[in-house]
A and B are shown apart, each in its own frame.
Chain A
């Protein structure tokens, strides 16, 4: 191998990088970072992915699409405590929002999947969800003239990697930038009001920020539910298999009741809350979190200010602020 004088190269690159990062440096002060305005993706794959995402024929019973539980007009979930499975029964766990998922370090409450592709495949095969197999699905897609043409044009054929890539690419396009709080982070000091600023300070000083931070205000680490008080005792009712959390994936005792910290982006429009969908009201959710995760009992005015801050995390999809049918005036 021929060594190269790395100092000189670094110097050159440093110049380039400094120029390109001069203004980005402003973002570094806060533990929460704004979402990017756009992600560069192949529009053809996004379009194909969108079609697959909304197509109920992907399921074995031809009646359940990804979009059944992840409704863009519902904040990216279904607004139910627990989703409805293909047999019409309630599922075992709350459906998380589909928005901004690419910024989560793992997917699902249990963090079972590293990539969107892995997760999409698992859901297609999940007996409660699409309940299909590749042997069943691929011929279906090949048999559809439109799909066959699209796949052939983009990928040169219909293979399982291609189906997953298209779905995942579409999911990567589902981002909600430009929330009032992001505008605030980018320097617009009037984007949020005084109460929301106060709420953000409380959010930091109580310690919520220790887990809910980064670009997705969460979604980047695992944490046990019930550090200071037994969450499940507080909730009541029998323990379910979903309550075991990450233990279901690792079978490691230390992972009992450990969950991926959920993102708080768009939290105001993604009720009900928690993996069991047991709480409807955001202020109550904040109180429970303070109690079981921080060992604190904030007074009502603090809770109100934090809720107010959380509302500033609601972003825009395709230029329109997210809302649920219930939340629109």
Chain B
């Protein structure tokens, strides 16, 4: 009597990823209040556009919407970061030793990730915490797989440097 295919599909495919969406929003916006608002907007958009979701990973599809809402939120608040910033120096050229890596000052690993610029923070989160594949990260962040790999690689180098330095101290 109350079965509705669309609503059921939303429950089945999107609702299980609300926590992941919230987690991504918190990491990107660094603020739980803004993250809740972004997630709310993303849920409404996902609900409206569910019919346009074709195959693929529902999680990646939903996280892409969440990310977009986070960008809108950051833009509205004139926050000092951009996710589309093209600062990805290709890792293939130049040996890692020559690279100037961002220096991180942080107490623990969460704070260290939080100190990374948004594109790197996002790549690490989606890979290590959310377990997305390179292709899925690419579709969430709207970047080619090569860029996914170079961002992940730089993020990891910075975090490994931080770990080593912390252990030396």
A binds B: no
